[in-house]
């Protein structure tokens, strides 16, 4: 048993201690990452109950499989993989073929050789009206994300919401980098189309 408080230890030391049966070290790992796991679970599952179940399932999996973590990737990346698998397993029965077919059209929109037109960035809200519009956009974006199949939602969430690299996202999902880019391109185009009517109604927020 270490004499130092688990809160002062880096992840690799906590993992080593937890592998050796140190309950305090494992508890600290849970405390350190439970907010991250729940937040990511909710963004993928889009349901608080499912996110809570995924949180529990994830750390049960971590406890059982901690010895299989080889340290070649970051611990957080390993967690993302477990969370993603748990979320997708819970929703596996939901068919998304029709949505996927429609998303494939975003690879090469009519009149373009490839990709999608770049959307003008939205400036940072500065006035009270801008703040209200920004909140509306956030709500609309969340609603639009809920319409995406989980396989596309997790790519968009990891890349554009969590800020993870394409390579890390591909590793979590077991995809090639090109497949990951393709899913991200389709997801972005679909979400842009969902938001376009609102952006058109408020041209003042386009720069």
Quick one: tokens of 100? 């996927």
pLDDT at position 200 is 63
- Write out pLDDT tens, residues 116-132: 444 443 444 444 444 44
Quick one: tokens of 50? 């499912």
CB 138 within 8 A of CB 205: no
Lowest mean pLDDT among 47-61, 126-140, 161-175: 126-140
CB 87 within 8 A of CB 173: no
**Percent of the chain residues past pLDDT 70, beyond the cut:** 71
CB 99 within 8 A of CB 168: no
CA–CA distances in Å: residue 64 to residues 21, 37, 61, 158: 12, 17, 5, 25
- Write out pLDDT tens, residues 69-118: 988 888 989 999 999 888 877 665 444 444 555 566 556 554 444 444 44
- Write out pLDDT tens, residues 148-206: 888 899 999 999 888 899 999 999 889 999 999 999 999 999 988 888 876 665 544 33
175 class by beta-carbon count within 10 Å (0-12 exposed, 13-18 middle, 19+ buried) = middle
């Amino acid at each position: 048993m270490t004499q130092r408080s688990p809160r002062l230890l880096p992840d690799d030391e906590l993992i080593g201690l937890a592998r050796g049966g140190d309950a305090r070290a494992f508890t600290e790992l849970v405390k350190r990452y439970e907010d991250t796991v729940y937040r990511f679970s909710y963004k993928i599952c889009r349901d608080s109950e499912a996110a809570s179940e995924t949180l529990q399932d994830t750390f049960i999996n971590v406890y059982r499989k901690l010895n299989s973590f080889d340290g070649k990737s970051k611990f957080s990346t390993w967690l993302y993989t477990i969370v993603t698998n748990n979320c997708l397993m819970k929703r596996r029965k939901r068919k998304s073929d029709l949505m996927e077919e429609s998303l494939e059209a975003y690879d090469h929109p009519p009149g373009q050789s490839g990709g999608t037109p770049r959307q003008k960035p939205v400036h940072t809200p500065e006035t009270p009206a801008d703040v209200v519009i920004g909140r509306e956009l956030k709500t609309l974006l969340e609603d639009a994300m809920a319409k995406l199949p989980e396989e596309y939602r997790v790519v968009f969430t990891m890349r554009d919401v969590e800020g993870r690299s394409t390579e890390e996202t591909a590793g979590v999902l077991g995809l090639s980098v090109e497949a990951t880019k393709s899913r991200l391109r389709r997801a972005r185009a679909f979400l842009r189309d969902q938001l376009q009517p609102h952006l058109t109604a408020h041209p003042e927020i386009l720069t």
